Structures are given as structure tokens and as C-alpha cells.
Chain A
Amino acid sequence: MIKKALKYISLYFKFNLLYIKTQLMYPKDFIIWFIFGSFSTIINIFFMKVIYYNTPLLGNWDYYQTLMILGYSSTSIGLFNIFFINIFSLGSSYIIEGKLDKFLIRPINVLFQLLVERIDLDNISELIIGVFLIVYSALKIGYEINVFLILFSIVFIIFSVFTLLGLFLIFASTNFWLQEKINFIPILYSLFNFSRFPITIFNKKIKLILTFIMPYFYLGYYPVNFLLKIDTKYVYTIFYQPILCLIFLTIGGIVWKIGLSKYESTSI
């Protein structure tokens, strides 16, 4: 067991190195992408500014508190993009174009190979800005940065990232059955828009859906609300997340396994 784990860890770094080498083929482009990769987060900050230019409070939340939500959600999304972005092309390219074949003939876990084939270090800028936002807004609010905050953030951000992995896996695996070239992942990406705001502005249906069916509110709102205790009604909702994470990973794993057994190569 330990031997196997060690093998996978060493493989992980080897795959990483391989990908970084291919990335450095275009060094200019890598630098440009590194700079511009942060644009979406910066624009989101601008957008927050515009919102608070027009209103002092957004559902009891002031500017820095909402900025903290943005920080948490950007950090989770950044981490997810760095490590698991290859799921994006699972349906559209790996399954439909039959690229999955090359993974199947190697004696390594297929999902592992899929995930490590692309480690998107470009997205590191989003991660950096996210962490910066958390620290910056915590300082501005006057929330003491202590060991508890750091541990809490790490644990729950990891839960968020793995919940997303499960969710994305479920939707990406549908392409094993649908032979059409449909990629559901952009829809999942567009839902990130909901994760950056206090949820009190949304109606009940959206709250329920994005809490239990598509757990996007856990990316930003629930952890911050637990720390700041602004909406007392939802302070402890965050503790559903470990359970949801487990559920989504399990379902994702099962769907992926069944789908993989149905996989038919399309390449020649």
C-alpha cells in the first residue's frame, strides 16, 4: 500500500516536470499568461468596487467582508484550476476523440493520469491573489490572523476543491454515454459567479440548490460567514461540507467507473 502510494507520488512529480517542460517551450507566452491569468480576479475586485460604489451594504455585508468571500472563492477556484483543470477536456476531447486510449494501456490509474497530464501553473496568479485578498480583508476587518484561521482555511478550502472535483467528474463523465460533442463544464464554470456574493440576496430556491445540489456557496460564503458570524442563520451550515464532499466524491467516482467501463474507443 505504502509502496504504491510512494510510486504514485514520484510519478506525480515526474508528470509535473514533463508538463512544465512543455509549457516552457513558449516562455514568452507563459509569462504573458501568468500576468493575464490574474485578470479575471482583478476584474472581479473592480466589479465589487462598482457594486459598493452604488450601495454601502449588500445584504448586511460591507465591502471588505464581501472581498473576503471573493478571496476564499478565488483561492478554491485557483487551486482547482491548477490541479484538476484537465477535467475540462475529458468529455470534449479525451472521450469523443478517443484520446483516453493511451491512458488505458498503461498500468497506472486512469483518472490519476488524466488529472496529472495538465497541471496548470499559469493559474497560480489567481491563487496568489485569492490568498492575498483573504489576508488583506481580514486585516481590514480587524480579524486576528491566528493558527485557527489558517488551519480552518486550509481544511475547508481543500474540502471545497474536492467537492468541485466530484461535481465536475459527474458532469464530465456523462460524455461516456452521450456520443454528441457536448461539454457541460462551461456551465459549471459559469456558476462560479454565484459563489462570490453573500447569499442573502438570492431567493430561497437558489439558496437550496446551490447549497445542497450544486454546493457552490461553500466556496466563499459559508466559511466566511462562519468566521465573521454575520448571518446568524447560516453560521453552522459549513459543517455540511465534509459530508457533501464525501457524497460528491463517491458519486463522481462511481459514475466515472461505470462510464469508463462503457468507454468505446473512437480512434483508429
Chain B
Amino acid sequence: MIKLLKNKLEKYFSIIKINFSKVLVYKYSFLIEIISLLFQFTASVYIWKYILENSPQIKNYSVISLTSYLLFSTIIKAITQNTTSIDIEKDIRTGNIYNFLILPIDYIFLYLFRDIGSSLGRILLNSWLIGIYGLLFFNVNIYYGIVNYLLFFISIVFSILIYSEISILIGLISFWTVSQNGLRYANSVISAFFSGSLIPLDFYPDLLKKISLFLPYRSIIYVPITILQTNTIYSNLFQLLIQFLWVSVLFFINNKLKIKAFNSLEIVGG
């Protein structure tokens, strides 16, 4: 039993390892990614700094805590990015997907572990670069409690999983639409807005805030950072629970879709 489990884990562990080293190979393209993220960060810091300086202390945020929020949001954005939906679409379009059908690996787990691996690579490669940029050029606060950081890291693992699962979902939909550029684009834009990556969701009008409660996107960026920045342990644990629920729900949906898709799979040529 233990041997079986060990075998299984080894399989997935090597997937993580492969994708971790893949990130290191394409380091230049990740550098470009970071620079573009930093420009976005700079632009939004200036906008919100201006607003807060003219009407200080709205919604319990000071300039420093908001700048730190934006910095952490940039870091999480850099960590969670993936190409999963593009790759799944490619698998389907080229018929390459049969390769995975004959392997003793679960298709969804394959991509989940792949994203964990590349996210680990990104943590090592670029998250600290963003942090240094923020510390050098802006006034930010990174001193939070140890418990906060601990919960924050757990929460980031969940957010990597949630974002990866959403990407897998979009990828699987292309079983029925063949090519899914539009859907992918819409997803990235909506997630940028509802995940709270531009500003904390507290700043949104009530209607938009309510909508965001029913979407998984807020668990990707807003939740981890609020866990880091607030000290009420029970609400933090509750947020973690919600994240975990989203992970399970999305996994369930993906699994159902996968089974449905694989049953109706037709590969032309091969």
C-alpha cells in the first residue's frame, strides 16, 4: 500500500521537477513578464497614491498598506501565471492528447502538478525581484506576524491550484469549441478585475463586491493578501476554508468535464 502510494507520488514529483527546471531555461521570457508586471504595478500605485493622499484613510487603507497590497498582488500574479489552457487546447487540436490517454497519469493531476512545479520555479526566479523593486522605489511594509506568513503561504498554494484549475476548465471547454482564444482572453481579463489584482475589492461598489463573492477569482489574489494583512485568526481560517472549497468544487467540475470529453473524443489522424 505504502509502496503504491510512493510510486504514485514519485510520478507526480518528477512532473514538478521537470517543470521547475523548464522555468529556469526560459528565464528571459520570465524577466520580460516581470518587467511588464512592474509597469502595471507602478501605474496603479501612482493612481491610488494620488487618491489616498487627497482623501486619506478610506476603507482602512493607508498609502503604505495599499502599496504593499499592490506589491504582493504583483508577486502573486507573477507566481500564478500559467500557459495551461493554451497547452490543453494544443493537445486537443493536434490530437496529441492520446499520448496522455495511454499513460498511467491522470490528465488533470498532470496539469495541476505541472503548474505547481512552474510556480515553484517562478517563486525562486522572479518573486524576490518584484519584492526588491518595491522595497527600493516605494514605501512598503512587509513586516507581518509569523502566523500571518504561515497562513499566507498555505493560501498561496491554494491560489495556485485555483488559478490552475480555472485554466484547465477553459482548456477542457475547447473540446467543444476547437479553438478558444476568445474565452481565454475573457477569462484573463475578468480574473484581473475580480481577483482584486488592481486594487483591494473593498474599494469596489457594493454590487461588484457582491458579484465577486460568487466567483472563484477573489481567492486568487485578494484572499491571500487579506490573510497576510489582517490579524483576526478565525476569519483568516474561514477564508482558507473557502479557498479549499473552491479547489474542491473546481476539481469536481473539471473531473466531470474530463470524463464527458474523453468519452466523446475523436482524433483525426494521429
- Beyond A29-B178, A53-B203, 4 extra complex contacts between A and B, CB < 8 Å: A29-B182, A57-B54, A183-B29, A193-B40
In the complex, 11 of the A-B residue pairs with CB atoms within 8 angstroms, ordered by the A residue number, are A26-B178, A28-B178, A29-B180, A32-B182, A47-B198, A51-B51, A181-B28, A183-B32, A186-B36, A203-B46, A206-B42
Whether B40 pairs with A186 at a CB distance below 8 angstroms is no
- Residues from chain B with Cβ under 8 Å of A57 in the complex: 54
Q: How far is the CA of A57 from the CA of B243 in the complex (A)?
A: 36
Whether A182 pairs with B183 at a CB distance below 8 angstroms is no
Chain B, interface SS category: helix
Closest chain-B Cβ to A196's Cβ sits at a distance in Å of 9
Whether A191 pairs with B177 at a CB distance below 8 angstroms is no
Whether B190 pairs with A39 at a CB distance below 8 angstroms is yes
**What residue in chain A is nearest B35 (Cβ atoms)?**
A187
Q: A32-B183, A37-B182 are in contact. Are A194 and B43 (CB under 8 A)?
A: yes
Whether A26 pairs with B179 at a CB distance below 8 angstroms is yes
Residue A197 CB within 8 A of the other chain: yes
- Residues from chain B with Cβ under 8 Å of A26 in the complex: 178-179
Q: How far is the CA of A201 from the CA of B46 in the complex (A)?
A: 6
Q: How far is the CA of A194 from the CA of B46 in the complex (A)?
A: 10
- Residues from chain A with Cβ under 8 Å of B55 in the complex: 54-55
Q: A53-B204, A58-B50, A197-B47 are in contact. Are A187 and B183 (CB under 8 A)?
A: no
Binding site for A on B (CB under 8 A): 26, 28-29, 32-33, 35-37, 39-40, 42-44, 46-47, 49-51, 54-55, 58, 177-183, 185-186, 189-190, 192-193, 198-199, 203-205, 208
Q: How far is the CA of A51 from the CA of B55 in the complex (A)?
A: 12
**What residue in chain A is nearest B44 (Cβ atoms)?**
A193
Which residues in window 189-207 of A have CB below 8 A to B?
Answer: 189-191, 193-194, 197, 201-203, 206
Residue A266 CB within 8 A of the other chain: no
Q: How far is the CA of A201 from the CA of B48 in the complex (A)?
A: 9
- Residues from chain B with Cβ under 8 Å of A189 in the complex: 36
**What residue in chain B is nearest A197 (Cβ atoms)?**
B47
**What residue in chain A is nearest B204 (Cβ atoms)?**
A50
Contact with B along A25-65 (1 / 0, CB 8 A): 01011001111110110010011011101110111000000
Q: How far is the CA of A183 from the CA of B32 in the complex (A)?
A: 7
- Residues from chain A with Cβ under 8 Å of B205 in the complex: 49-50, 53
Residue A184 CB within 8 A of the other chain: yes
- The 8 closest A-B CB pairs, nearest first, are A190-B36, A33-B182, A32-B182, A36-B186, A201-B50, A36-B182, A193-B43, A190-B39
Chain A, interface SS category: helix
Whether B51 pairs with A202 at a CB distance below 8 angstroms is no
**What residue in chain A is nearest B202 (Cβ atoms)?**
A54
- Residues from chain A with Cβ under 8 Å of B182 in the complex: 29, 32-37, 122
- Within 8 Å by CB of B32, from A40, A51, A187, lies A187
Q: What size tier do the contact residues of chain A reach? A: 35 or more
Residue A144 CB within 8 A of the other chain: no
- Residues from chain B with Cβ under 8 Å of A33 in the complex: 181-182, 185
Q: How far is the CA of A138 from the CA of B182 in the complex (A)?
A: 31
Q: How far is the CA of A50 from the CA of B44 in the complex (A)?
A: 13
Q: How far is the CA of A49 from the CA of B209 in the complex (A)?
A: 13
Q: How far is the CA of A51 from the CA of B32 in the complex (A)?
A: 28
- Within 8 Å by CB of B33, from A53, A186, A203, A206, lies A186
Q: A32-B182, A181-B28, A189-B36 are in contact. Are A43 and B192 (CB under 8 A)?
A: yes
Q: How far is the CA of A50 from the CA of B58 in the complex (A)?
A: 13
- Residues from chain A with Cβ under 8 Å of B39 in the complex: 187, 190-191, 193-194
- Residues from chain A with Cβ under 8 Å of B36 in the complex: 186-187, 189-190
Closest chain-A Cβ to B20's Cβ sits at a distance in Å of 19
Closest chain-A Cβ to B148's Cβ sits at a distance in Å of 26
Q: A55-B51, A181-B28, A181-B29 are in contact. Are A40 and B35 (CB under 8 A)?
A: no
Closest chain-A Cβ to B261's Cβ sits at a distance in Å of 17
- Residues from chain A with Cβ under 8 Å of B177 in the complex: 28-29, 32
**What residue in chain B is nearest A39 (Cβ atoms)?**
B189
- Residues from chain A with Cβ under 8 Å of B29 in the complex: 181-183
Q: A183-B29, A186-B32, A187-B36 are in contact. Are A54 and B193 (CB under 8 A)?
A: no
**What residue in chain B is nearest A33 (Cβ atoms)?**
B182
**What residue in chain A is nearest B199 (Cβ atoms)?**
A50
- Residues from chain B with Cβ under 8 Å of A202 in the complex: 46
Q: How far is the CA of A206 from the CA of B50 in the complex (A)?
A: 15
Q: A37-B185, A43-B192 are in contact. Are A51 and B47 (CB under 8 A)?
A: yes
Closest chain-A Cβ to B68's Cβ sits at a distance in Å of 18
- Residues from chain B with Cβ under 8 Å of A29 in the complex: 177-182
Q: How far is the CA of A93 from the CA of B199 in the complex (A)?
A: 35
Q: How far is the CA of A51 from the CA of B50 in the complex (A)?
A: 11
Whether A46 pairs with B193 at a CB distance below 8 angstroms is yes
- Residues from chain A with Cβ under 8 Å of B42 in the complex: 206
